[in-house]
Amino acid sequence: LAAPQLIMLANVALTGEVN
């Protein structure tokens, strides 16, 4: 199952960038 908003949160947390 896709979790696009969770991926976005992870990206922002780890890099500060948008996926």
Partner 1 sequence: QRLKVEDALSYLDQVKLQFGSQPQVYNDFLDIMKEFKSQSIDTPGVISRVSQLFKGHPDLIMGFNTFLPPGYKIEVQT
CB 5 → partner 1: shortest distance, Å?
5
Phi, psi of 17 (to 5 degrees): -115, 160
Q: Which residue type, as a one-letter code, is found at position 17?
A: E
CB 14 → partner 1: shortest distance, Å?
6
DSSP codes joined into one string, 1-19:
---HHHHHHHHHHHHSS--
Binders of partner 1 among residues 1 to 19 (CB under 8 A) are 1-14, 16, 18
- Output the six-digit token pair for 15: 């890099």
Using CB under 8 A, count the residues that bind partner 1.
16
Binding residues vs partner 1 (CB under 8 A): 1-14, 16, 18
